[in-house]
Amino acid sequence: MIAEDGLLLREGLTGVLARFGFEVVAAVGDAEALIAAVAEHAPDLVLTDIRMPPGFRDEGLRAAVTLRRARPRLPVVVLSQYVQDEYAAALLDSGSGAGVGYLLKDRVVDVQDFVAALRTVASGGTVVDPEVVRRLLRRPKDPLAALSSREREVLALVAEGHSNSAIAARLFVTEAAVGKHVGNILAKLDLPPAEDTNRRVLAVLAFLRA
């Protein structure tokens, strides 16, 4: 199944794949149609672009992530001009990384290599353009990754402007427990005491950026 908003490229891909023995059961132009077509046809492989109607941002990639969450064994290849960091990581993490690919259009220089990559993904393998790997490795780490779920909950309430006593009342814990959570949050975010900074504000800024 092909999802590509450009008519000429969609038709071109359909023709190329047919020449190499693929049966294209559907070729659609937007993410909503892609999800509907997968439900209807249950394809063995999905090939999708990222930027499609209506917003031309990341609709195709988000649809791919949605499909993989519902069907972890569905092979999906993203073919795009762009590396969309957030959802690219989510796609590659889905289904334990099996049966997934991310290729860049302007780096596909050999049709046979392209077809071989599709067959690899269709059989459960993983194919990722090296440039995609480099981009993902350069992603800044999530500063909140080290926080526990309770610490994230406390930090969210801090970000809403609540005092420790108000947070304690909301979470049905003692104010001392909240103080301990806040101390752990500041330590895990690497915010040591300093005279010229408000660590609580810096923690909130880290939360909002994340």
Give pLDDT, residue 126.
92
Cβ contact 79:49 at 8 Å? yes
Banded model confidence at residue 139, pLDDT cuts 50, 70, 90 = low
Cα separation of 144 and 188, whole Å? 8
pTM of the model: 0.67
In this predicted model, what pLDDT tens digit does every residue of 104-122 receive, in sequence order?
Answer: 999 999 999 999 999 999 9
Amino acid at the residue 150: R
Banded model confidence at residue 77, pLDDT cuts 50, 70, 90 = very high
Cα separation of 87 and 83, whole Å? 9
Residues in CB range of 23: below 8 A, 6 or more apart: none
Give pLDDT, residue 203.
84
What six digits make up the tokens of 29? 């132009």
In this predicted model, what pLDDT tens digit does every residue of 179-205 receive, in sequence order?
Answer: 999 999 988 888 877 665 578 888 888
Domains in the chain, start-ordered, CATH in brackets?
2-138 (3.40.50.2300), 149-209 (1.10.10.10)
pLDDT at 22 over 70: yes
Residue 195 CB neighbours (<10 A): 4
Give pLDDT, residue 87.
77
For the chain, counts of helices (H) and of strands (E): 10, 6
